[in-house]
Structures are given as C-alpha cells and as structure tokens.
Structure 1
Amino acid sequence: MDWKIELVAIPVTDVDRAKAFYEKIGFNADHDASPYDGIRYVQLTPPGSGCSIAVGTGITTAEPGSVVGMQMVVSSAEDAYQALLAAGVEATPVKDEGWGWFTYFADPDGNKWAVQQLEGYYS
C-alpha cells in the first residue's frame, strides 16, 4: 500500500492575499470553493509537484504563520532564488547547508519555506 502526502494545510489570515502570493511565485490555483458557510478551500500546486497546499477559512485551527520547515526541491536553487526575487519575494541568498543548496522565504503571514537543490550536489 502506498501512503502519499498530497495536501498540506497552510494557515493564513487573508485567503485572497495568500492565493495571490502563491500564484505570484508560480503555484497553480487548482480549486477555490466555498462548499458551505464558514468554509473556503483554495488548493494550490507548485509546478511539477505531486503535493499541493491548501489555504482557506475553516480548514485548520493552526495559527497563521506557524508553519516552519515546508520544503520544496528544485533542480537549481539559484534559479529558484532569482525567480523569487523577480516576483518581489524576499529570499535568502543560496547557501550550502552540507546536504544541499538552500534558499529560504516566507509567505505574507510568516509561514517559512525552504527551497532545496540536491541535483548535482553529491556528484
């Protein structure tokens, strides 16, 4: 049996602001629905990913900005860093962490993301 992680809830204060932010950095908005009062569910997927995030209202009790350590893997950390800067996102310069190259950024609520390059690191 496969156990797949396919959706992670990211707590935010403003759903429209979060949706716009993630779209600005290249995530695709797959769904945006309010199936009943008190629920709004927005699913966003990074390009090429089998896992999506969900932002919304009524989908998590976690505090906005409390996520630390969400991680995406890319073929080029430098290209990712440059794309984040071009989108107006504050990101850290690429750093060799000893197990890959990383750049870090946060969404408007302060949820913290790591972007890791493994490809070419161990060759």
Structure 2
Amino acid sequence: MDVKLEVVVVPVSDVDRAKRFYKALGWREDADVIADGGFRVVQLTPPGSQCSIIFGSGVSSAAPGSVQGLHLTVPDIEAARAELVWRGADVSEVFHDAGGVFHHAGTEARVSGRAAGRRSYGSFASFSDPDGNGWVLQEVTTRLPGR
C-alpha cells in the first residue's frame, strides 16, 4: 500500500492574516473556497513540497496556534533562513541539539550554529505564524536510505 501525507490542518484565528503570511513566504495558493454558513477552506503548499496545509473557518476545533513542530526540510539551512527573513518571517538563529539526536521541544538544549560537520538532519531554525503555530526548518544534506 502506498500512503502519502497530503495535507496538515493548521488552526488559525484570522484566515486572511494567515493567508497573507504564508503567501508572503512564497507558498502557492491552491484553493480558497467559501461555502454556505461561513465555512471556508484555504490550501497552500510550500515550494517544492508535495504536502500542503489547510486552514480556514470551521475547519478545525483545535485552538489557534496549538500546532507545534511542523517540519520543513531544506538543503541549506542558512540560505532558507535568510530567504524567510527576507520575506518577513521572524526566524530563530540556526541551532543544533546539545544531545545531537533531535531538537527538544521549545528552546531547551539548543546550541547555536549548525551541527558539527553540517551533519544531515542535525541543524535547525524555527519560526511561528501569526497565531503561534510552530515551524522548524531542518537541514537535510543527505537523505537516509529508503527516503
């Protein structure tokens, strides 16, 4: 069976503000559909991704800003960070985890700079959307076997 992650629902409080934010990051607008009763679905896709996000009115019962740890993989963390900053996002400095396995929740055990030797999967930067939904950039220079 072939299974692919297609869409992640991101809870937001202001649909138009969220749409402006993600479009300013360079994400492609796939849909903005308004139905009866104020139901609205907005779908955007990050550049190069096969997975999209959806937000809107009546789409999720989760609290706005409650989604954390959404990961975007990039081949060059410094270049990706610089572009997001240029596009208006408030992005953390590049960091790696003190334990070297995977970053901790929040800002615990963050060490400034890329992982030693620019180890694939080891360097990160983070940012949030206007509601506080948390995103993490993760540098992947060489994919693990089978990926």
TM-score, scaled relative to structure 2: 0.78
Identity of aligned residues (%): 46
Q: Look up the match of 2:35.
A: 35
SS of residue in 1 equivalent to 2:37: coil
Q: Look up the match of 1:106.
A: 128
- In structure 1, stretches of 5+ residues that fail to align are none
Give the AA of the match of 2:132.
Answer: G
Superposition map of 1:1-12 within 5 A? 1-12=1-12
- In structure 2, stretches of 5+ residues that fail to align are 101-120
Residue 96 of structure 1 deviates from its aligned partner by 2.5
Q: Look up the match of 1:85.
A: 85
SS of residue in 2 equivalent to 1:43: strand
C-alpha distance in 2 between matches for 1:120 and 1:63: 36
Residue 50 of structure 1 deviates from its aligned partner by 0.7
Residue 120 of structure 1 deviates from its aligned partner by 5.3
The answer to whether structure 1 residue 69 and structure 2 residue 69 are counterparts is yes
- Where has structure 1 moved over 4 Å in runs of 4 or more? none
Q: Look up the match of 1:45.
A: 45
The answer to whether structure 1 residue 16 and structure 2 residue 16 are counterparts is yes
C-alpha distance in 2 between matches for 1:54 and 1:109: 14
C-alpha distance in 1 between matches for 2:79 and 2:142: 14
Of stretches 13-22 and 85-94 in structure 1, the one that deviates more from structure 2 is 85-94
C-alpha distance in 2 between matches for 1:17 and 1:74: 25
Number of residues paired by the alignment?
122
C-alpha distance in 2 between matches for 1:94 and 1:121: 20
Q: CA RMSD in A?
A: 1.6
SS of residue in 1 equivalent to 2:13: coil
Give the AA of the match of 1:102.
Answer: F
Give the AA of the match of 2:14.
Answer: D
SS of residue in 1 equivalent to 2:12: coil
Structure number, greater radius of gyration: 2
| Deviation readout 1:66-104 (Å, 9 max, x if unpaired) | 011001101111111101111121111111233421110
Give the AA of the match of 1:106.
Answer: S
C-alpha distance in 2 between matches for 1:114 and 1:12: 18
Q: Look up the match of 1:116.
A: 138
